[in-house]
Amino acid sequence: MTQGLAQITDSHCHLDFPDFEGELEAVVDRAAQAGVTRMVTICTKLKNEPQVRAIAEAHPPVFYAAGTHPMSVASEPMASFDELTALADHPKFVGIGETGLDYHYTSESAEMQQQSLRIHIAAARETKLPLIIHARAADDDMARILREEMQNGAYSCVMHCFSSSAALGRTALDLGFYLSMSGIAAFPKSQDLRDIFAAAPLDRILVETDAPYLAPPPHRGKRNEPAYSALTAQIGAKAFGLDYADFAAATQENFDRLFCKAARYEAAA
């Protein structure tokens, strides 16, 4: 890492995707050069969990989470509570998901998605690991389920790659959840989204890439990678009217608070 460079964490990426095959060492090195000293790589289908776990085991800065992506619920076996909670035994397994609702592409599986989401919430509640939520074109059902499930017992959560309505953002924040800023927030036409983030408490903001997707400018349209979360964080700093170092430090504190298992792992290392 460049000396004196502010440290940040890419709280959501997909390092097991074919886009990174054979390049992981270089990708992790470039992240470190940009000040990105930790990454959480996300498994979206439980059958791929062994490969994702292996990446976390092979690379000290990488942690992992696993679940069934809502767009895959209809084509994959329904994740069980026992399967998800058992994964938490691994020292670098730090979150449940990504799970959620996506009615944009897969509305026909809405009922199955809702069932899967509730199973993942139960696992997050049991393991005390943060839930990682994907939400697209399903704001009303998402807000309702998150509120209903909070009545069944507290759990923590991050709205990954948040680009939904201000109303869903307020619901999430009211429940004590976090909003994660992706490259979408850096797109020129995303001022409304930047305004939603700027109106949120600073202590509830994370940054991510969702790599290999959603690369921020000047890499838009190309493969995203964890190093580029620093570019999104620069936009976040401007939205909050902060120096980059101060915004980066805040997001680090937020990550440590939410992903406390990752913070404890590092402290013990």
pLDDT tens digit sequence for 116-141: 999 999 999 999 999 999 999 999 99
pTM (2 d.p.): 0.96
Is a pLDDT exceeding 60 seen at residue 1?
no
Mean pLDDT over the full length of the chain = 96
Q: How confident is the model at residue 145 (pLDDT cuts 50, 70, 90)?
A: very high
Alpha-carbon gap, residue 92 to 239, rounded angstroms: 32
- Identify the pLDDT of residue 4: 60
The DSSP line for the chain is --TTPPPEEEEEE-TTSGGGTT-HHHHHHHHHHTTEEEEEEEESSGGGHHHHHHHHHH-TTEEEEE---GGGTTTSPPPPHHHHHHHTTSTTEEEEEEEEEEHHHHGGGHHHHHHHHHHHHHHHHHHTPPEEEEEES-HHHHHHHHHHHHHT----EEETT--S-HHHHHHHHHTT-EEEE-GGGGSTT-HHHHHHHHTS-GGGEEE---BTS-PPTTSTTS---GGGHHHHHHHHHHHHT--HHHHHHHHHHHHHHHSHHHHHHHHH-
Contacts of 4 (CB under 8 A, 6+ apart): none
Alpha-carbon gap, residue 165 to 43, rounded angstroms: 26
User: What is the set of domains in the chain, with CATH numbers?
Assistant: 8-268 (3.20.20.140)
**How much of the chain exceeds pLDDT 90, in percent?**
97
